[in-house]
Amino acid sequence: MENVVIQNRQNSEAEVLRKQAQRRKTILNVVYYLSGTLLAVVFLFPLVYMLATSTKSESAYASDAGTLMMFLPDFNNLSAAAENYKKVFVSYGVWQYAINSIVYAGVIIVLNIIVNGLAGYVMAKFDFPGKGFFSFIILFLIVVPVETSIIPLYSIVKVLLGMKGTISVLAVILPATISIFNIFLFIQFFEGIPKEYEEAARIDGAGNLRIFFSMILPLSKPIVATVATFCFIGAWNDYLWPTMVLPYAEEGAWPLYPIQSALTSIQSIQGITTGEFMASLVVTSIPIFIVYVVAQKYIVQGFGSAGLKM
């Protein structure tokens, strides 16, 4: 009888502890999700403001300034929103700069995957003299700020390409082809691919290049998608380097600048309204948002599979 009482007491205590643990977990979850929601709302405020302002005329923007209405679109005058976006595309020619950025990004993505993928494949799967030294250099260059190499890179590109006319487009594309961080990602991912796959392919007579393009890359879709996403975002947001190496377009000629450079030009236009400028910001932000939303799961898979081993 005494044992039964003791057992019941232990069961009651265990049940109390379980409920307390469950209560603590529930409280922590509530705090976690509330904090995350508040932070998300705070970070979304500038985007909501940008989108709302892009739908307003200058008078509506001035009347709503300093009130909560500044975060709400002007549904009463949708023609103002249409006029703002029409001016951005037609009068200011943002579509030309957008095409430039898409072309630059597409070429950079393809070259990045091929060049950095091959470099990562060699570092991950082959043994050669000096491999440890090159691994150290890769890790070292990851932490070196990009800004420290801009002036030397500009001098090299200027001597090799001359940067005159359309040839200066190569000055935008070629330096962006090599990314130490992307090589590092490829190395980490390729090291996780079993060697048995390569051995089986070599038995069938496949060479290193065929193995890379026919087997390694198809097995590496998460990291390829991750690198492609980063390359697109980097090329789309690039402003400083293209401004340094690309020439000004002559009157009536097709501009070579990417879309971020167009924002600076649009901002300096005499008489531009706040709504028009915000509309240009919305246009330049939408592709980044779409690409990131579509590729988000691949980015998570890519980093998870790579493991970011040091």
Indicate whether 6 pLDDT > 70. no
Confidence at residue 106, expressed as pLDDT on a 0 to 100 scale: 93
For the entire predicted model, the pTM comes to 0.80
Once rounded to an integer, what is the mean pLDDT over residues 56-85? 82
CA distances from 90 to 55, 84, 214, 280 (A): 17, 10, 44, 12
Q: What is the pLDDT confidence band of residue 138, given thresholds at 50, 70 and 90? A: confident
**Percent of the chain clearing pLDDT 70 (strictly above):** 90
Domain check: are 259 and 296 in the same one? Answer: yes
Indicate whether 111 pLDDT > 90. yes
Mark 57-88 as b/e (b = at least 16 C-beta within 10 Å). Answer: beebbeebeeeeebeebbeeeeebbebbbebb
Are 182 and 255 within 8 A, CB to CB? no
Domain check: are 60 and 149 in the same one? Answer: no
User: Can you tell me which residue has the tokens 């265990």?
Assistant: 14
Domain check: are 273 and 144 in the same one? Answer: yes
Final residue in a domain of this structure, among 26, 52, 85: 85
Final residue in a domain of this structure, among 46, 64, 85: 85
Q: What is d(CA 292, CA 230) in angstroms, rounded to the nearest whole number? A: 9
Confidence at residue 309, expressed as pLDDT on a 0 to 100 scale: 45
Domain check: are 118 and 202 in the same one? Answer: yes
Indicate whether 12 pLDDT > 90. no
Domain check: are 24 and 77 in the same one? Answer: yes
- Supply the CATH number for residue 301's domain: 1.10.3720.10
**Percent of the chain clearing pLDDT 90 (strictly above):** 10
Domain check: are 81 and 108 in the same one? Answer: no
Of 179 and 10, the structure prediction assigns the larger pLDDT to: 179
Domain check: are 281 and 256 in the same one? Answer: yes
Once rounded to an integer, what is the mean pLDDT over residues 257-265? 84
Final residue in a domain of this structure, among 85, 111, 142: 85
Residue type, 21: A
Are 242 and 259 within 8 A, CB to CB? no
Once rounded to an integer, what is the mean pLDDT over residues 290-309? 69
Indicate whether 300 pLDDT > 80. no
Domain check: are 49 and 190 in the same one? Answer: no
Q: Which domain holds residue 27?
A: 2-85
Of 65-74, 140-149, 227-236, highest mean pLDDT: 227-236
Domain check: are 23 and 144 in the same one? Answer: no
Domain check: are 260 and 281 in the same one? Answer: yes
- The alpha helices in 162-207, defined as continuous H runs, are 169-177, 180-190, 195-203
Asked which of 36-50, 121-135, 150-164, 289-303 is least confident by mean pLDDT, the reply is 289-303
Indicate whether 14 pLDDT > 80. no
Give the mean pLDDT of the chain. Answer: 83
Phi (first) and psi of residue 220, to 5 degrees: -115, 35
Once rounded to an integer, what is the mean pLDDT over residues 280-292? 87
Indicate whether 168 pLDDT > 50. yes
If one counts the domains in the chain, the total is: 2
Domain check: are 196 and 288 in the same one? Answer: yes
How do residues 230-260 score in pLDDT, each as one tens digit? 899 989 988 888 888 888 777 777 888 888 8
Q: How many C-beta neighbours within 10 Å does residue 268 have?
A: 8
Domain check: are 213 and 81 in the same one? Answer: no
Residue 293: exposure state from Cβ atoms within 10 A (0-12, 13-18, ≥19): exposed
Indicate whether 201 pLDDT > 90. no
